[in-house]
């Protein structure tokens, strides 16, 4: 993983205002594997006081998408074509960690997965898994 | 649809701080069919300046979940077990409208779909479809 | 819909030996909409005596794929990139009818849905819904 | 894993006539992990001569479902509520191996995944991944 790739992903991530609104940050960038974290915030909850599934989805989708981007040429961006989430437990914790991973880098599609953990009192618990498809898009310089 | 049901759903919705953060509002509540809208906000974008897939997902998931809730007894809440989104076009517009619908009300699971449209210059365009499973949960009074 | 398109789809369908093994037949071919039917057969059951989810999936996937193919140029075939099925009720009946439909014909991907009904004693019941992505592939002449 | 559990799963599997039609066999049964294999057969192909996605789906779904069943009490059966498949490569090989795994055993739902490999000339290649939800059902004795 070159510094250039890390910079490119960090720069793209920082231009996503939703990620800022959710308090999300990039935690790790490796080839085919990106981790994004978001804290428990009073502004991102559902009706029972847990973090909203929309938060879980958003950081999982981003981690999966950026893991795909690490394997693409520099003139390409990536978009989510489709993704599915299975929620395993309420998002109960101080921190939520989404780890995206590339399963198959194809010529036209990139198949990805993500696992999202909630960290509470130092304990990590798997709260959601995702499986989806990213599509490379050429960007104009 | 009784006023009581509309009140119950409105009250649940308003206690979701993420919906407030996204600027989302309930637009319609009918039996098995709920519409939620969110505006284009500078705080909910992705890197290319469109609304983030996390926004599209969040309002679609909420519309689908509340459409299930309209058909459940009063002592029950609803949680997303799993849901899948196919993104058809960038979320380009001033307003995003998610319509949830119940496909099958089972004893143990409620199968739902959602369609999300972007409204731009008065034109409505389908930008995402969702298909998922809600699970009723008994709440303590 | 030209006769040529109907012939092309019928010919492709008939070269799928699994469809023959399942007793499946094309019932309707229109632009963006294909119906495939399969009978109850003693050779395609699950352990409780209903038709197997594998049968339901197979005819739903085929109907969805061929509905995409009706909208593609003649030098292209179509492959399933991904598809999701929600099973609503046991496949109980004499006949199973899968209707595929194109939701969005994109340049690179075709988003599709399918509904599968079981027909029993003349009554039709929705037993499954599907949502997925087809990808056009160029075929050599 | 007791012999009783292995017998119960084998017996259930053998009563699925579709599995016989597809030539499928149980290869391994462990707690939360089941492997099912099916050979390349001239009767289960798609139009290009590869094994049909319906075969890949069917053995993946079965492996996932039986992996859930290994963790359930004896008076329960399991049904697929929903499942999604991403196809990564054509099903090209002499043998197809589906490995199901339980991700989360909940009180009301069991979340599962499956990986399907094609074995060709002794080489194993990942051709599909699946993610889904099984639901326990009580059976009458």
Buried b (16+ CB within 10 A) or exposed e, D52-65: bbbbbbbbbbbbbb
Q: How many C×D Cβ pairs under 8 Å?
A: 101
Residues 70-129 of A with CB under 8 A from D: 84, 86, 88-89, 103-104, 106, 111, 113, 126, 129
**At residue B105, what are phi and psi to the nearest 5 degrees?**
-95, 105
Question: Which residue of A78, A80, A82 is the best one to mutate when testing the C interface, meaning the one whose CB has the most C CBs within 10 A?
Answer: A82
Residue A29: beta bridge partners?
Answer: A34
Residue D27 CA: distances (Å) to CA of A117, D21, D35, D97: 32, 17, 5, 9
Cβ of D122: how many Cβ atoms within 10 Å? Answer: 6
What pTM was computed for the model? 0.97
Chain D neighbors of A103, CB-CB under 8 A: 86, 88, 126, 129
Instruction: Give the pLDDT band (50/70/90) at residue A5.
Output: confident
CB contact under 8 A, A109 and C84: no
Nearest residue of chain C to residue B114 (CA atoms): C131
ipTM of the complex: 0.96
Cβ of B11: how many Cβ atoms within 10 Å? Answer: 10
Eight-state DSSP code of residue C91: B
Q: What does the pLDDT look like over C9-56, one tens digit per residue? A: 999 999 999 999 999 999 999 999 999 999 999 999 999 999 999 999
Structure tokens belonging to residue A93? 């914790």
Residues 14-43 of D with CB under 8 A from C: 15-18, 20-22, 42-43
pLDDT at B64 over 80: yes
Q: Compute the distance between CA of residue B90 and CA of residue B72 in angstroms, rounded to an integer.
A: 34
Per this entry, what is the length of chain B?
Answer: 141
pLDDT value at residue D5: 87
pLDDT value at residue D126: 98
Which residue, among A62, A75, A83, has the nearest Cα to A19 in the 3D structure?
A: A62
Q: Is there a contact between A95 and A80 (Cβ–Cβ < 8 Å)?
A: no
Q: Compute the distance between CA of residue A44 and CA of residue D74 in angstroms, rounded to an integer.
A: 42
Q: What does the pLDDT look like over B37-56, one tens digit per residue? A: 999 999 999 999 999 999 99
Q: Compute the distance between CA of residue B131 and CA of residue B115 in angstroms, rounded to an integer.
A: 9
Q: Compute the distance between CA of residue B9 and CA of residue B12 in angstroms, rounded to an integer.
A: 5
**At residue C107, what are phi and psi to the nearest 5 degrees?**
-70, -35
Which residues touch D89 (CB under 8 Å, ≥6 apart)? A104, D118, D125, D126, D127
Who among C89, C111, C132 is closest to B88 (CB)? C111
Per this entry, what is the length of chain C?
Answer: 141
Eight-state DSSP code of residue C52: P
Which residues touch A140 (CB under 8 Å, ≥6 apart)? none
The shortest C-alpha distance from C141 to chain D (Å) reads 13
pLDDT at A30 over 90: yes
Q: Is there a contact between A62 and A97 (Cβ–Cβ < 8 Å)?
A: no
Instruction: Give the pLDDT band (50/70/90) at residue D14.
Output: very high
Q: Is C111 helix (H, G, I), strand (E, B) or coil?
A: strand
Q: Compute the distance between CA of residue C117 and CA of residue C60 in angstroms, rounded to an integer.
A: 10
Burial class (CB in 10 A: 0-12, 13-18, 19+), C126: middle
The shortest C-alpha distance from B104 to chain C (Å) reads 7
- State the average pLDDT over residues A44-58: 96
pLDDT value at residue A2: 74
Q: Is there a contact between A120 and B93 (Cβ–Cβ < 8 Å)?
A: no
pLDDT value at residue D141: 55
Q: Is D47 helix (H, G, I), strand (E, B) or coil?
A: coil
The shortest C-alpha distance from B104 to chain A (Å) reads 19
Nearest residue of chain C to residue D51 (CA atoms): C18
Q: What does the pLDDT look like over D37-48, one tens digit per residue? A: 999 999 999 999
Q: Is there a contact between C83 and C130 (Cβ–Cβ < 8 Å)?
A: yes
Who among D13, D18, D20 is closest to C54 (CB)? D18
pLDDT value at residue C3: 85
Cβ of D2: how many Cβ atoms within 10 Å? Answer: 8
Q: Compute the distance between CA of residue A94 and CA of residue B110 in angstroms, rounded to an integer.
A: 30
Burial class (CB in 10 A: 0-12, 13-18, 19+), D87: buried
Chain A neighbors of D126, CB-CB under 8 A: 103-104
pLDDT value at residue B3: 85
B8 and chain A: CB distance < 8 Å anywhere? no
Which residue, among A79, A57, A76, has the nearest Cα to C106 in the 3D structure?
A: A79
Q: How many B×C Cβ pairs under 8 Å?
A: 38
pLDDT value at residue A123: 98
Which residues touch B15 (CB under 8 Å, ≥6 apart)? A47
The shortest C-alpha distance from C119 to chain D (Å) reads 20
Which residue, among C98, C45, C48, has the nearest Cα to D22 in the 3D structure?
A: C45
Residue D136 CA: distances (Å) to CA of C133, D7, D66, D109, D133: 29, 19, 11, 7, 10
**CATH fold label, B3-138:** Thiol Ester Dehydrase; Chain A (3.10.129)
The shortest C-alpha distance from B134 to chain D (Å) reads 11
Residue C36: beta bridge partners?
Answer: C26, C98
Instruction: Give the pLDDT band (50/70/90) at residue A139.
Output: confident
Structure tokens belonging to residue C71? 């909208």
Structure tokens belonging to residue C69? 């193919």
């Amino acid at each position: 993983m070159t510094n250039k790739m890390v910079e490119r992903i960090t720069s793209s991530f920082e231009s996503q205002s939703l990620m800022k609104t959710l308090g999300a940050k990039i935690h790790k960038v490796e080839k085919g594997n990106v981790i994004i974290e978001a804290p428990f915030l009073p502004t991102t909850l559902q009706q029972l006081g847990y973090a909203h599934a929309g938060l879980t989805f958003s950081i999982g989708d981003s981690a999966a998408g950026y893991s795909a981007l690490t394997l693409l040429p520099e003139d390409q961006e990536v978009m989510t074509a489709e993704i599915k989430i299975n929620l395993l437990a309420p998002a109960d914790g101080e921190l939520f960690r989404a780890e995206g991973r590339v399963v198959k880098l194809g010529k036209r599609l990139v198949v990805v997965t993500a696992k999202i953990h909630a960290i509470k009192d130092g304990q990590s618990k798997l709260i959601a898994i995702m499986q989806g498809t990213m599509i490379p898009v050429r960007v104009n310089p």
